[in-house]
Amino acid sequence: MVLSVTESSYIYDSLVSSNPTRPDSRKPNQYRPLKANCGFLPNSNGSSRIFNADSTECITSVKAKVVRNCKKSDLINVEIDIYGERDSSTLTQHLTTMIKQSLNDSFDYSVLKLTNKYYFQLYIDVSVLYLPEDFNYSSYTLYSILSLISMGVYLALKSAKLPLLVSEKEDFEVEEEPTFSDDWEASTYLIPRDPSKSFQPALAFVVGAVGNTVIIDPSLEEEQIIEHGIGITWSNDRITTPIQSLTLSSSNTKGLKPALIFKAIEVVRNVAKDVVNALNAISEQQVDVLDTAF
C-alpha cells in the first residue's frame, strides 16, 4: 500500500509519540502472525515454507553433497531468488551475503564432517515467491524480508536429515568413497535434537527506528516512514555478528542514534527465545500440518 502524505504523517506521529501506536495495533516487540511448515520437498534433505500476513512467501531447500576435503567457508552455499528481481540486483546480493555470513559465524561445522577425508557440502536455495504489487511505486525497499528468509533457512536446516554412513570413518589409508544405508528411516538430523549436542543456526531480526521508538518486524506501511533499519543476528542464545544497517525506506532515511542500537538489541533479546522455541516446535511437527502460526 502506497501511503499518501497525510497517512504517512499520521503513522509517523503515532509511532514517535510517548505511547507508540502501530497501524495494526501490535506492540513494539510483537511479530505479525506467520505460518510455516517444513520437510515437504521429497528431493531435498530439508525444506521449509513460510509466509507472513502480507502474503510474502518463502520456500527454502537444503541439499547435501559429499565432497573431498575443502575449505570450511566452501561447505555452506546460499542462493536466493526473489520474484521480479535479477540475481545480480543489490537487494538479492546483499541478502545472500548477510545470510551466508551469519551462518558461517554460527554453524557447528563438525556436523558436516563425514570421514577423515570427506564432508557434506550444503546447498541452501531460497525462493521468495511473492512481492506486493505496489513495490515499484512505493518507498519501501523489502530489506525486511531478511527476517522471513532467515526463519525459512532456520526451519529447513532444523528439518534436514543426512543418510547413515555404513563405510569406515577412518579412511586416510582407504581409497574408496563413502557408502550409505539405503534405509532412510536410519537417517539422522543434520542438527542433533539432543540439546547437549545441538546448536542454533543464526536468525536475523529486522528492527526499525523512528524518532526514539524501535519496532520489530515493521510492516510495509511502517517501512515507508521508518528512518533507519537495523539487522540484528541471534544465535546460540545470544546476540552475534553481523549487526548491520538496513535501508528500509528510500525516502525517509536519517542518521541513527547510537542509543537506538542498544535499544534495538534489547528488543531482540526479549523476543528471540520465544521465536526460536516457536520455530523449533514447527520443525518437529508432521509434514502435513500447514497452518502452524506463532
pLDDT of residue 69: 79
> C-alpha distances in angstroms, 266 versus 157, 254, 260, 271?
27, 21, 10, 9
pLDDT of residue 128: 94
pLDDT of residue 112: 94
pLDDT of residue 55: 79
pLDDT of residue 286: 64
pLDDT tens digit sequence for 14-26: 999 989 999 999 9
Q: 132 or 75: whose pLDDT is higher?
A: 75
Report residue 1's pLDDT band, with 50, 70 and 90 as the boundaries: low
Report residue 250's pLDDT band, with 50, 70 and 90 as the boundaries: confident
pLDDT tens digit sequence for 259-272: 999 999 999 999 99
Q: What is the mean pLDDT of residues 152-168?
A: 94
* pLDDT above 70 (res 293): no
Q: What is the mean pLDDT of residues 10-14?
A: 92
Q: What is the mean pLDDT of residues 67-89?
A: 89
CB-based burial of residue 23 (10 Å sphere; 0-12 exposed, 13-18 middle, 19+ buried)? middle
* pLDDT above 80 (res 252): no
The helix/strand/coil state of 212 is coil
* pLDDT above 50 (res 294): no
What's the mean pLDDT when you consider all of the chain? 89
48-57, 103-112, 131-140, 191-200: range with lowest mean pLDDT: 131-140
Instruction: Give the best-scoring range by mean pLDDT among 39-53, 144-158, 174-188.
Output: 144-158
| Torsional class of 275: left (φ above 0), alpha (ψ -120 to 50), beta (otherwise) | alpha
Report residue 218's pLDDT band, with 50, 70 and 90 as the boundaries: very high
- Percent of the chain whose predicted confidence (pLDDT) is above 70: 95
Residue 56 makes CB contacts below 8 A (sequence gap 6+) with: 128, 130, 131, 132, 145, 148
Identify whether 42 is preceded by a cis peptide bond (ω within 30 of 0).
Answer: no
- What gap in Å lies between CA 279 and CA 273, rounded to an integer? 10
pLDDT tens digit sequence for 88-108: 998 899 999 999 999 998 999
pLDDT of residue 136: 67
pTM (two decimals): 0.92
Under a CB-based contact definition with an 8 Å cutoff, are residues 141 and 218 in contact?
no
Domains and CATH numbers, the chain: 5-284 (3.30.230.70)
* pLDDT above 70 (res 292): no
pLDDT tens digit sequence for 27-52: 999 998 899 999 889 889 999 999 88
- Percent of the chain whose predicted confidence (pLDDT) is above 90: 59
